């Protein structure tokens, strides 16, 4: 077995693997610079049989002074920061952003996020691999 960098010659094999798995998401654009790692594992015949494709994503942290302003003023500030933050992330080439809410605020603040177009994504089960 050999693990190596992806090349364009691997595309048809990866497309076939994607189709065979039957997951309901489109095959990613591997030329997008947001893919920072593209590794292919070859079998003994030098044929790609597995690939690990790592795409950057973004985790949002919101810091708020709870004593500054009224709730209405804080919400207006959130709206302005949300608009500017989304534009900034798009300009940097990011496709999405994620927020993990502490349980004590998840229900209430989650409704605010949904009003701003965020989706509660329970369709896929998240896992995390700590690298440091």
Q: What is the pLDDT of residues 61-77, one digit of tens each?
A: 999 999 999 999 999 99
Among candidate residues 81, 31, 92, 22, the one with its CA nearest the CA of residue 57: 92
Return the sign of the alpha-carbon dihedral for residues 69, 71, 73, 76.
positive
pTM equals 0.81
pLDDT above 90 for 123? no
Where do the structural domains in the chain lie, given as residue ranges?
2-55, 57-132
Residue 103: HSE in the Cβ half-sphere, 13 Å Cα cutoff:
0
Q: pLDDT above 70 covers what percent of the chain?
A: 100
- Sequence-distant (≥ 6) Cβ neighbours of residue 62 within 8 angstroms: 78, 81, 99
Contact yes or no for 38/51 (Cβ under 8 A): yes
Q: What is the pLDDT of residues 58-115, one digit of tens each?
A: 999 999 999 999 999 999 999 999 999 999 999 999 999 999 999 999 999 999 999 9
């Amino acid at each position: 077995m050999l693990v190596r960098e992806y090349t364009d010659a691997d595309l048809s094999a990866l497309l076939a693997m994607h189709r065979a798995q039957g997951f309901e998401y489109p095959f990613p654009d591997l030329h997008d610079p947001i893919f920072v790692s593209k590794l292919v594992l070859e079998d003994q015949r030098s044929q790609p049989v597995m690939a690990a494709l790592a795409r950057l994503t973004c985790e949002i942290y919101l810091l708020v002074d709870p004593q500054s302003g009224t709730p209405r003023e804080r919400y207006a500030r959130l709206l302005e920061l949300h608009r500017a933050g989304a534009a900034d992330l798009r300009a940097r080439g990011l496709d999405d952003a994620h927020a993990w809410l502490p349980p004590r605020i998840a229900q209430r603040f989650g409704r605010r996020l949904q009003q701003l177009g965020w989706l509660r994504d329970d369709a896929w089960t998240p896992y995390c691999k700590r690298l440091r």
